[in-house]
Amino acid sequence: MQINKELIQRYHLGQCSEEEQQMVEQWLESDEAEVSFPEGADLPAMEAKGWKKISSRYHLSDKSRSPAREHPVKLTAGNTSRRRYKMIWQLAACMALVVAAAVFYVTGTNPGQSGGLAYQQIRADKGQKLNVTLPDGTLVWLNSESSLKYPVKFGTGPRKVQFTGEAYFSVAKDPAHPFIITTSKTSIRVLGTKFNVREYGTETATSVVVAEGRVRFGGIASPEHLILTVNQRGIFSVHGKDSTTLDKDKVFAEKYLAWKNNELILDNQSLAQVKLTLERWYNVKITIHSEKLSRERYSGSFSNPSLKQVLESISFAVKCSYKQEGRVYTMY
């Protein structure tokens, strides 16, 4: 029996057999759900029904409100109805993920797996780019000043890793064992896909750009999430202690993956932003003589460039000069 609009409509009206009801609910919890919900469905009632089911399962207060109502997620038209409905059932998995991540940080073990897991950490320092093949066959390219912590051997549950910096992931497909990346601010969940992740401590935003497949992306402590597909970018921004936003837009993914091939793309960035990128790429110290100069904006694209090439291009474009003293470069 296939999942279709008619079956979902009968489920909503309470006209399904027990077998059909179980099948629809399994489908709703699946990451492969791709059928839109019937037009005109009573979403508030459906959300309330889903929240009641989850609150009962996890012994939550009856006064709790559906996160879908309190924290609406910006989604594109067409799939909005299906995703809002599906999010209710996915909340249970999201809650379990937050708890698991907390234990993972503290103990270094994964709940539900026998015994502790041994971990390995790889780091690309400033001026370096590294790649590693994980035990499941997943390929990871690390940009400069990035770090990845992963099990020497994955257990029987989800494949969990910890990450900071910037990296390109080509995740080996394994539907039975989701691949979960935890950063200091966000959680990324996939089954098998290719995407770029960027979260540096000097930046307030975490971004994910999808090159292939589908990615679930959201804040580590929030039920809000985005489903990202090819050439979409998700951005989780921190605006203050208790203020965050989660947005997505359309991009050309290849531009965000260029660094992997040692291509440097600076797209209308301030010199203050350019300075941080160049310090990572070349393991040097760059100072900018004035605040006014640091606000100047620059765009440029280079293939396997030397630092001298980049600085000369910037100097010409913004009409400034630079000088070198050892590994320290001053722009003035």
Looking at the fold, whether 228 and 289 belong to one and the same domain comes out as no
Domain that holds residue 27: 5-94
Looking at the fold, whether 122 and 225 belong to one and the same domain comes out as yes
pLDDT at position 230 is: 95
pLDDT at position 240 is: 76
State which of 254, 283, 315 marks the end of a domain: 254
pLDDT at position 250 is: 96
The per-residue pLDDT for range 267-291, each reduced to its tens digit, is 999 999 999 999 999 999 999 999 9
In a domain, 288, yes or no: yes
Mean pLDDT value of segment 110-118: 55
Number of domains in the chain: 3
Mean per-residue pLDDT of the chain? 79
Give which of 132, 129, 172 is closest to 148, Cα–Cα.
132
State which of 194, 226, 254 marks the end of a domain: 254
Mean pLDDT value of segment 230-244: 89
Looking at the fold, whether 270 and 224 belong to one and the same domain comes out as no
The per-residue pLDDT for range 188-203, each reduced to its tens digit, is 999 889 999 999 988 8
In a domain, 142, yes or no: yes
> Residue 328 above 60 pLDDT?
yes
pTM for this model (two decimals): 0.65
Mean pLDDT value of segment 285-311: 96
Mean pLDDT value of segment 212-223: 91
Looking at the fold, whether 234 and 267 belong to one and the same domain comes out as no
State which of 64, 94, 124 marks the end of a domain: 94
Please report, rounded to a whole number, the percentage of residues in the chain having pLDDT higher than 70.
69
The per-residue pLDDT for range 127-138, each reduced to its tens digit, is 999 999 999 999
pLDDT at position 2 is: 65
Looking at the fold, whether 87 and 127 belong to one and the same domain comes out as no
Looking at the fold, whether 49 and 118 belong to one and the same domain comes out as no
Mean pLDDT value of segment 5-28: 71
Mean pLDDT value of segment 304-319: 96
Mean pLDDT value of segment 96-117: 42
Mean pLDDT value of segment 108-124: 68
pLDDT at position 100 is: 37
Mean pLDDT value of segment 254-275: 95
Looking at the fold, whether 318 and 188 belong to one and the same domain comes out as no
Dihedral angle computed from the Cα positions of residues 248, 253, 255 and 257, in that order, rounded to the nearest 10 degrees: 110
Please report, rounded to a whole number, the percentage of residues in the chain having pLDDT higher than 90.
58
- Per-residue confidence band for 117, with pLDDT thresholds at 50, 70 and 90: confident
| 107-121, 286-300, 302-316, range with the lowest pLDDT | 107-121
In a domain, 101, yes or no: no
CATH code of the domain containing 202: 2.60.120.1440
pLDDT at position 92 is: 40
